[in-house]
Structure formats: structure tokens, C-alpha cells
Amino acid sequence: MFVGHYAVGLAAKKFAPRTSLGLLIAAPILLDLLWPIFLLIGWEQVSIQPNPNPFLRLSFDSYPISHGLVAAIGWATLFASIYFGIARYLAGAIAVWVGVVSHWVLDYVVHRPDLPLYASTGRLYTAGNRLFGLSLWNHRWITIAVEVLMLAAGVVIYLWTTKAKDQIGNIAFYAFIFVLVGLYAFVVFGPPPKSVKQLAIGSLCTWLFAVWAWFFDSHRESLPHG
């Protein structure tokens, strides 16, 4: 799942209006921000396989540190604790925790059964270590429809919760959504990544979306009804 994770961050603004959208988006995409780091240092493995369905081009051979359920809960607890320690804002800490864990749940809906619960010893999974995934990705257009609807709902909730303090607060927000949708279209309709390294570096660059979200969110303010 891609833009659906961003939708979770946008919607979380209603629950935790005092938390920057940069953090609220970093939380649901955190596992995909850690994943390219673990790919580059060789702790996790992915391979690229030709497939007419672009959602099925990646074979997630092993990624228990970024995408195991137990690890996801650990990352969520770590991230939320650090946030709570600094900000002392419980709603924000809850939004961060739920956001990080939501990544696993949403990936579970779309991925083929490749999501582990926890890291097994060695690289091969034993029979007892089941892998999970409901394979919505097999249905390309349903996946796209679900993700686009989620993003639209996230945008509506965010706009309902905040208003721009100046022109930057509007322009930078709409530009963010435009680029995000454009990138999603590229991932879905564009060529496959040429190498795992290119894939990892491209994924790493999505950190910039969290920074961008922090930027335009600082040019917006929460509405009292939000």
C-alpha cells in the first residue's frame, strides 16, 4: 500500500490537532522508511520480478525487522514513547502508535502472504512461522480505487480540521497532494525499478514527504470544530 498510508496520517490530524502533520505522516509510513535502510545494509531482502500487474513486481523475500508485526509494535512503542517524552501530548502519542501499527494492518490487506509476525532464526522461514497477507494486490483496479478513496477521505478530513494561515499553507498542501498522486501513478503505470538499490534509494526519498508535510502544516492552523 502506498497513498493509503498517507491518508491515515492526514486523518490523524483530527484526532491529534496539536501534533505536526509531518510526524502524523511519518508514523504510518515509518516501516517503509526503515525498510530501504535495512535493504541497503543487507538485513532484509527483496527481489524484482516481471509481472503484468505492477503491484506484484516485488517479491518481499524477507523483511521481519521492518515489516514483522512484533517489530511494528516495537517501532510504534519506541516512536510514540519518544514523542510523548518530548511533547507530553497523549493524543499525539496515541496517533503515532496507532499510525505505525496501521501500516502493518493495511499492508496485510494488500500484500500477498509475505508478512511475518516476527523474525525467525536464519533466513528461511520454518513451517511454524506463517506469513500473512490477503492479496488485494491481485486485483489491481480495486486496490487503486481503495487507495484513492482513502486518500480523498484523508484530504477531506485534514481540510476540515485545519485552515491555511497564509498562501504557502494552501499552495504547499495542494502541491504535496499533486506530487503524491503523481508518484503513485508512476509506481502503478510506470516502469519497474531497475535494481534493488534504485528501489531502496527511491523509497528513502519518501522521507521528504514527511518534511514537506511538516512544512505546510506549520503554515496552517487547527480549526476549533476540527
217 lies in the site for Zn ion, by CB under 5 A: no
Decide the pairing of beta strands 131-132 and 115-116: antiparallel
- The distance of closest approach from Cβ of residue 67 to Zn ion in the complex, given in angstroms and rounded to an integer, is 6
Give strand ranges (E) for 97-149.
115-116, 131-132
Longest dimension (CA), the chain: 57
Cell numbers 505536526 correspond to what residue? 20
Stretch that binds Zn ion, among 90-98, 106-114, 179-187, 206-214 (CB under 5 A): 106-114
Distance CA 91, CA 222 (A): 15
* 99 touches 27 (CB < 8 A): yes
Distance CA 183, CA 156 (A): 20
114 lies in the site for Zn ion, by CB under 5 A: no
Distance CA 6, CA 165 (A): 22
Stretch that binds Zn ion, among 28-36, 119-127, 138-146, 213-221 (CB under 5 A): 28-36
Q: How many residues are there in the chain?
A: 226
CB nearer to Zn ion: give 21 or 29. Answer: 29
- The distance of closest approach from Cβ of residue 217 to Zn ion in the complex, given in angstroms and rounded to an integer, is 23
Q: Which positions from 51 to 90 touch Zn ion by CB under 5 A, shown as an x/- string?
A: ----------------------------------------
How close are the terminal C-alpha atoms of the chain, in Å? 27
CA atoms within 13 A on the CB side of 213: 25
CB nearer to Zn ion: give 32 or 44. Answer: 32
Q: How many residues bind Zn ion (CB under 5 A)?
A: 2
CB nearer to Zn ion: give 5 or 13. Answer: 5
CB nearer to Zn ion: give 106 or 177. Answer: 106
Distance CA 137, CA 107 (A): 10
- The distance of closest approach from Cβ of residue 164 to Zn ion in the complex, given in angstroms and rounded to an integer, is 31
Choice from 32, 44, 114, 147 touching Zn ion (CB under 5 A):
32
CB nearer to Zn ion: give 174 or 207. Answer: 207
107 lies in the site for Zn ion, by CB under 5 A: yes
CB nearer to Zn ion: give 22 or 68. Answer: 68
Please give the residue ranges that form the binding site for Zn ion (CB under 5 A): 32, 107
